[in-house]
Structures are given as structure tokens and as C-alpha cells.
Structure 1
Amino acid sequence: MIKASLSKSKKITNSVLFILFTLFAVIQLNDPDPMHWFLIYMGVAVISLGSNFITIPKAIIVLIILGLLVYAAMHFMFLIDWLQTENKSEILGEMVYEKPYLEGSREFLGLLIAVGALLYQLKR
């Protein structure tokens, strides 16, 4: 369905979200498990850009949000483990296989960012 005219600020916001999530997706290509993260972030990017041109059914966005929240819930304990550590800054460092909570926390936070972008699309 063709979308009615959006305000210029909403089109700009959608374009910025598209660029950001495309960058997030490309960065994932060096991850040990790149494809599903690439697809998650590119999916959000495509929805963001596509929203400038077509009306994306709210039901589809809600289903994707629910799926991402379920996936985020699987990483929630990693976030709790990280929050209980003394050195919070190590989340910004390299992945350490002896500390799986670092990668799990990053993944949890990334999923929440993706959900936030989709909630923006849902509210419009």
C-alpha cells in the first residue's frame, strides 16, 4: 500500500535509521555468527527506509518486535552477569571467550535498540 505523505522530519529520521542499521548489519559480518545478526539489523533498516514509501502493516511490525523481545530474553541473564561485574567498561573491549556475558550483553542491548527503532515505526 502506498504511503500518504510523511513529514520531512519523519523521512529524515527513517533515513538516518536506515543508514545506522545498515552500518550495524555490515559490522556484524566480522562476528562469529554473522548471518542472523546481519538479517536482524538489515530487516530493521529495510523497514525504516520502506516506511518512507509504503505503509507496513502494524501486525508485521508487532510480530517482529515480539520475536526480537523473545530473543532478547534469551540473552537477559548475560546482562545480569555483566551488571554484577566490577569492570563495566570491558563491554566496550574485545570479545573474551572466558566471559560470554560480554557478547551476550552486547547482543541483548543491540536487540533492544532494534526494538526501539521498530517501536518508532509502530507509533507513527
Structure 2
Amino acid sequence: MIFKIVSLLLAAYFIFAGAVQYNDPDPLHWMLLYFTSSLACILAALDKDKLPLLYAIIGMAGIEIAATIDGFLDWLRTGNENLITAKMTDEKPYIELGREFLGALISLVVITWLWYRKRTKNSK
């Protein structure tokens, strides 16, 4: 029961994360990542999750992490701003990239957890 509740809370988070991407300069791939992550959480809560979907999302999150890691590392080196509250500017692209990196990382961690759980459950 706790797994279902956590999965549904994570699904709600990913729906919110996808919904706020509408005004982003590059919304489509982020919305796709977050909404498919939400779908995976809902399917897992219903015990209808499928490994191919989880693999696809892991790949999508990995690509986003690879595309944004330089900005995240720049933020670690030069930024002392809070990534959540800092204003995004052209002079500080690492703010947006850092946020995107962390969002993709959250998706990767959650979907890897679902993958591990599904894989372990299938091997029993």
C-alpha cells in the first residue's frame, strides 16, 4: 500500500513538472520526459508497469542529463544562487541548465527505482 501511495505522489509531481514546462523555450522533450515518468509511476501503482517503457524513460533521462551536465557543473563552480528561487538570465544559463539537470536526475532515480523493483519482482 505504501508503494502505491508513493508512486501516485511521484506521478502527481511529474504531472506538475510537465505542466509547468509550457512556457519553457524547449518544452516538448521535457514534457515528454515528465509525463511519461508520471505514466510509469501510475502503471507501477496499478502493477501494470512494463520494462520497455522504463528502459525508454531511463534513456530519455540519460540524454537530458548528458545535455545539461555542463550547466550544472558551471553552477557548482560559479553559482551560489539557489536553483529554485534564482532568476534565469542570459548571463547565467547555468540556472536553467542546473534545474533541468536536477529534474532529469529525479526522473532517472525514480524510474531506476521502479525498474529495479520490477526486475526483482519478475525474477521471483
Smaller-chain TM-score bracket: 0.7 to 0.9
Aligned to 2:28: 35
2:85 counterpart letter in structure 1: L
What pairs with 1:1-124 in structure 2 (closer than 5 Å)?
8-89=1-82, 92-124=85-117
Amino acid at match of 1:17: L
Query: TM-score scaled by structure 1?
Result: 0.83
Shift of 1:58: 2.3
Aligned residues: 117
State the shift of 1:91 in Å: 5.5
Structure 1 consecutive aligned stretches of length 4 or more whose deviation exceeds 6 Å: none
Unpaired runs of at least 5, structure 1: 1-7
- Show the counterpart of 1:5: none
Cα distance, 1:114–1:60 mapped onto 2, change above 3 Å? same
| CA offsets 1:27-82 (integer angstroms, 9 cap, x no match) | 11121222221111011001100112243232431332133113211211111111
Please tell me the residue identity of whatever aligns with 1:81: D
- Structure number having the greater helix percentage: 2
State the superposition RMSD in angstroms.
1.7
